[in-house]
Amino acid sequence: MTEQVRNGLVILQPTSFCNINCNYCYLNDRDKNNRMQLSTVEQIAQRIFESPYFPEEANLLWHAGEPLTVPVSFYEGAISIFNRLNFRKIKLNWCIQTNGTLITPAWCEFFKKQEIDIGVSIDGPQQYHDANRVDRRGKGTFMRVLRGIKLLQDYDISFGVLATISRKNIKSAEAFWDFLVENKIVGVGFNEEEATGTNQSTTLGYNEVLEDYRAFLEALIRKKGDLSRDLIGIREIDNMLDRILQADLPVISDLVTPLATLSFDYLGNISTFSPELLGLVDPRYGNFKFGNVYRNSIEDVLRSPKFHRVNANIQAGVRRCQKSCDYFDICGGGNPSAKLGEHGSFDVAETLNCQLGVKTVFETVARALEHRLEANIGV
Amino acid sequence: MSEVLKDTNLSPDGCMSPEKPNSVLGRINRIRRLSGIEAGILKMTGTFAEFRQGLGGHTVFNKKSFDQFKQKAEDKPKK
């Protein structure tokens, strides 16, 4: 397996706490101020560097709860530990996904010095963002996020944004595009609101949602003018375009491949597959913690009986996808956390997450390509 | 396409084709043919030996596109 699989992403949860309280958040302990200790960071680093799953480089993302509620000094210490233990000289790519409300000049200086990739969560123009992304008093956070974005730009720090698509903003494509242009935002990704964790239902579970999402993406493509990633990159469109143009390569989904995505919580617990699983508790499986860095190597995860049970069910679900879904070759087997959230089982095929994030995206991008090629416009 | 040929692996002229024309793979292959990918006219952007799904869920950005954006902005003639 080590020859076939390499890790694509490590998610480090420095705290479970988040300073805001979004309506669709799935995190259980976002009101608890649990924090990762630097001794835990050291254990994680040791486990990563002794693992064969990181041959050349590692993408390390601080995410969930809000990473900037932990002081800059913690991250300075953590990066210093990783650099000291990196005896194999693996290339380390650091990323932080933040709600943007706590960005200060001190953070910007740190981001710049350490060359950290930044993702800011914002759901579009104020009326859409503030409908869901609220603080603990229920007040919208848009102006605070925008202040953080302006600070990043003042410091010439590159960043992209992640937006959650819900029923509140799914019809806002044109306003969304204008918002990106006005605020000089050059990369955006869309996550669909999922029924998972503490968010038991999604506002996207209505009849016309697929048509609405297709119209949303089509409007963005129209606004963009072409399908290239010049000026503003749209992750869903860019990734699908890449996948269509590289269809002769086999698809491997990191979400269903053991250890391809690794998540560590503040206590050093280890999980894999969909990152959302680390914080979940399920009546059938219990939690999805397959080991702990103080007791286990990363390879020990593969020997955990709980891992075997979960993996067997996830792979059964992937086989169902392969057998029943025409889109398998561009997807690779779905998202386990969405399967569990929507159906209570990994051993299922289609989810709303597939219908939106794979099928609708493919149909929209493929139609745009077909139209351009038939009209001889070119890709 | 005639009803007889619908849902078969036969193309409209009745010849065998490697995939149903209106299937996902059929459409992808047609796009690749028309775009010149198969003839190597269009340059590939990927660097991995296999295409990886899932990476994009939590990271949205790469510095390369930002640098390209900046370069384009700087290249534009100043008014």
Residues in chain B within 8 Å Cβ distance of A188: 60
Contact state of A189 with B28 under an 8 Å Cβ cutoff? no
Whose tokens are 């698509």? That residue is A165
Residues in chain B within 8 Å Cβ distance of A189: 56-57, 60
Q: What is the pLDDT of residue A251?
A: 81
Residues in chain B within 8 Å Cβ distance of A162: 60
Question: For the stretch A278-307, what's the b/e string if a residue is b when 16 or more beta carbons lie within 10 angstroms of its beta carbon?
Answer: bbbeeeebeebbbbbbeebebbbbbebeeb
Cβ pair A343, A351 in contact under 8 A: yes
Helices (H), A97-172: 105-114, 126-132, 142-154
Q: Tell me the pLDDT of chain A (379 aa) as tens digits.
A: 444 567 778 999 999 999 999 999 988 889 999 999 999 999 999 999 999 888 788 889 999 899 999 999 999 999 999 999 999 999 999 999 999 999 999 999 999 999 998 999 999 999 999 999 999 999 999 999 999 999 999 999 989 999 999 999 999 999 999 999 999 998 899 999 988 777 778 899 899 999 999 999 999 998 887 666 556 888 888 888 878 877 777 788 889 999 999 999 999 999 999 998 998 899 999 999 999 999 999 999 999 999 999 999 999 999 999 999 999 988 899 999 999 999 999 999 999 999 999 999 999 999 988 888 887 665 5
Local confidence band at B50 (pLDDT 50, 70, 90 cut-offs): low
Return residues 274-313 of A near B (CB < 8 Å).
275
Give the tokens for residue A149: 């974005």
Residues 6+ apart with CB under 8 A from B15: none
Residue of A nearest to B26 (CA): A326
- Residue B3, pLDDT > 50, answer no
The amino acid sitting at A30 is: R
Does residue A38 belong to the interface with chain B, where contact is any CB pair within 8 Å? no
Q: What is the pLDDT of residue A241?
A: 83
Quote the CA–CA distance of A221 and A217 in Å, as a whole number.
6
Residues in chain B within 8 Å Cβ distance of A234: none
Closest listed residue to residue A132, CA positions, set A64, A187, A206, A202: A202
Residues in chain A within 8 Å Cβ distance of B50: 249-252
Cβ pair B53, A254 in contact under 8 A: yes
Local confidence band at B60 (pLDDT 50, 70, 90 cut-offs): very low
Q: What is the pLDDT of residue A118?
A: 93
**Best residue in B32, B34, B52 for a mutation probing chain A (most A CBs within 10 Å):** B52
Local confidence band at B53 (pLDDT 50, 70, 90 cut-offs): low
Measured at the CA of A248, the angle between CA A246 and CA A250, to 5 degrees, comes to 95
Helices (H), B18-62: 24-35
Instruction: Say which of A9, A247, A370 has its CB closest to residue B55.
Output: A9
Q: How many CB pairs under 8 A join A and B?
A: 141
Minimal C-alpha gap between B79 and chain A (Å):
19
pTM of the model: 0.86
